[in-house]
Amino acid sequence: MLCREKEYFEIINQIYQKVIHEENIGETANYIPELSKIDGEKFGVSLLFIDQLQFGFGDYQEKFSIQSISKVLLLALVYGEIGEKIWERVDVEPSGTPFNSLLQLESDKGIPRNPFINSGALVVCDILIGICDNPKEYFLNFIRKVSGNNTIQYSDKIAESEFTTAYRNAALTNFLKSLGNIHHSPNEVLDLYVHICSIEMTCLELSKTFSFLANKGKNLFDHQEILSNSQTKRINAIMQTCGFYDESGEFAFRVGLPGKSGVGGGIVAIMPKHYIVSVWSPKLNSKGNSYRGMKFLEEFTTATEDSIF
């Protein structure tokens, strides 16, 4: 281990021990029954450098539902397939409203503010349905390719649990349909959406899966190009401005890295050309982001003095 990387190991260890012994505020995502059953005290961290050195702490090898983190991978797949045409149906602006809000859609004439709020991801799901015959299989194969892991799988139990309580997302899908920005069956779109959100990974697997976004669009393990350098830059930019719903500005202010959160308690953040760090802790703050995850990453980038700014 190089001197600088050894320093990172020691910094992460110190912050992990500090955070795990402090108050753990928040609640698990109780509006999704299966997620409400997860032990809120779980806490894992994984750091993967682009030279493929990696280390982890705590529950970093335990699988969890990555939820909205998968929206980045959905965007990467569809953006890679259709290019700039994607921006005709979804914008790239911060929302300033909760991730499942209907308020802006009518005034914005059915164009979601960005692809990471629920309405935006639903539109990207609709686009994917129009690209291929079996979108669930197509997306899963993409995930397996970018992760280098053929064991990655949907959780049917979590997808079913989410689908049975998806009243708000059903409303969003039907509203988008009425405004002309959903072209396929709303039920088909919603079914694809909940399955994409049900993907399960460990912190380590999550870091490996997002490695192409830290490496100019190429996988670390086989150097296969997933996206162009320009497309990679654009997705990282959207993560920076829109990756944490209406707490995105706060994350940029306190952490200073592109990242994406999910209501399963996961967060992945990227220091381009250097590393990928993934954190999992299921208790969420009032904005729907992992309480410990946000706290850990703020202290981590403060200690390392890392930032894209």
By C-alpha distance, which of 135, 134, 126, 115 is closest to 71?
115
Query: Any binding-site annotation on 5?
Result: no
Q: Is 119 annotated as a binding residue?
A: no
| CB atoms closer than 10 angstroms to residue 307 | 12
16 is in an annotated binding site: no
236 is in an annotated binding site: no
User: Any binding-site annotation on 245?
Assistant: yes
**Is 199 buried (19+), middle (13-18) or exposed (0-12) by CB count in 10 A?**
buried
Contact yes or no for 304/8 (Cβ under 8 A) = yes
* 107 annotated as belonging to a binding site for a ligand: no
Q: What are phi and psi for residue 261, nearest 5 degrees?
A: -110, 165
Residue carrying structure tokens 């809120």 = 40
- Is 207 part of any known ligand binding site? no
Which residues, other chains included, contact 224 with Cβ-Cβ below 8 Å and sequence gap of 6+? 145, 218
Binding residues for substrate, as ranges, are 68, 118, 162, 169, 193, 245, 263
Binding residues, as ranges, are 68, 118, 162, 169, 193, 245, 263
